[in-house]
Amino acid sequence: MLVLGIDTSCDDTSASLVSFEDDRPDIVTNIVSSQSDIHDKYGGIVPELASRRHMEMIWPVVNEALGKNRIDDLGVIAVCYGPGLIGSLLVGTSFAKSMSLSTAIPFIGVNHLEGHLLSALLAEPAPGFPLLSMVVSGGHTSIYMVRGYGDYEELGKTRDDAAGEAYDKVSKLLGLGYPGGPVIDRLARTGNRKSIRFPRAMMKGTHDFSFSGLKTAVRLEVERNPALKPEDVAAAFQDAVVDVLVRKVRMAIEETGVKSVALSGGVAANSELRERMAEMCEKIGAEFYPPPVALCTDNGAMIALAGYHRFRMGQVSDLGLNPRAHLPIS
Ligand code: KG4
Ligand code: ZN
């Protein structure tokens, strides 16, 4: 079966064609049109500008994802309907509804987080269940226990800022632009992580996270000492974020006994996080499944995968489906 997956939840217009044979996904195309050029100068996403760019890009991106395949060959259209920016989500969901209405191909609304936490299953080798899946993005930082398709338990989540949000805010503070993750990741390689000791909020006794104190600590340190080298601040900040993420995953492995770990969301593209998570997993005999970077950041393939399995379970959406800015995983 061929599945078209569409994601316009935030600032990337993405569409992907995924073919399934015996439930194994094969990514045929995965097209992403980034908007960082228009948001960069504001140091963050401007929702109205994001929606406008989605409107311009949705057809070119879907058309490129379809390639030479005929729309009539699709088995189902999967579209992300939340959580995210409402204006951005409206473009993707309205587009998918129109496609479905004009072709009589069924469509299904997919939770963006479900896409992320399953994205490791798009890669080879794919993990089995149960799986500990950590989603670290600009909007979320959570650890889930995945027992099967549609069977998810959130073990812990951030109580304030998401890890990616902290990267973006620290980047803005240092005048490094948006998105902050990739630039801090690069800059940190040349800095001294031990030059400053930033706090690590471990939220003891829970699997929760907190990154707003770290962001404030970076701001105070930079205000106190303007001569600090940006690369040292970047390295010390990243060290604190990665430390917390790796230690919390280790605690979750030890507590649950589940030894398969997946990572996703934009921050999962971080080179130091991938390296140190792999080292930790090897040390304690766990298997680590980091998807390729293109599948960590927002993409249509993860939406196609989650949508395919929901469709297989007999679910479809109707034209009454509305996007939701806040949407818990069910
Ligand atoms: O999952 P994503 O593409 O969008 C959502 O938030 O859903 O994640 C975007 C976030 C941004 O905050 C960006 O700064 C961060 O992921 N990011 C990174 C890296 N690449 C992207 N953070 C750290 N290191 C990176 N290499
Ligand atoms: Zn995302």
pLDDT tens per residue, the chain (330 residues)?
999 999 999 999 999 999 999 999 999 999 999 998 898 888 788 999 999 999 999 999 999 999 999 899 999 999 999 999 999 999 999 999 999 999 999 999 999 999 999 999 999 999 999 999 999 999 999 999 999 999 999 999 999 999 999 999 999 999 998 899 999 999 999 999 999 999 999 999 999 999 999 999 999 999 999 999 999 999 999 999 999 999 999 999 999 999 999 999 999 999 999 999 999 999 999 999 999 999 999 999 999 999 999 999 999 999 999 999 999 997
Residue 205 CB-half CA count within 13 A:
0
Closest Cα to atom 21 of ligand 1:
266
Same domain, 183 and 90: no
Domain membership flag for residue 255: yes
Q: Which one of 33, 36, 137, 187 would you pick to mutate in the ligand 1 pocket, going by the greatest count of ligand atoms within 8 A of its CB? A: 137
User: Of ligand 1's atoms, which has the minimum distance to the CA of residue 265?
Assistant: 1
User: Of ligand 1's atoms, which has the minimum distance to the CA of residue 179?
Assistant: 14
From the CA of 169, the nearest ligand is: 1
Closest Cα to atom 19 of ligand 1:
181
Same domain, 211 and 71: no
pTM: 0.95
Same domain, 161 and 264: yes
Closest Cα to atom 23 of ligand 1:
181
Same domain, 264 and 177: yes
Same domain, 96 and 189: no
H-only helix segments in the chain: 36-39, 47-66, 86-103, 112-118, 163-173, 180-188, 212-224, 230-256, 271-284, 293-296, 300-312
Provide the domain count of the chain.
2
Domain that holds residue 76: 2-117+296-312
What separation in Å is there between the alpha carbon of 267 and the centre of ligand 2? 9
Using alpha carbons, list the distances in angstroms from residue 158 to 162, 204, 268, 272: 6, 13, 16, 20
**Which helix (H) or strand (E) is 3 found in, with range?**
strand 2-7
Give the alpha-carbon dihedral of 85, 86, 88, 91, to 10 degrees: 160
Same domain, 230 and 300: no
Give the domain CATH number at 255: 3.30.420.40
Domain membership flag for residue 322: no
User: Of ligand 1's atoms, which has the minimum distance to the CA of residue 264?
Assistant: 1
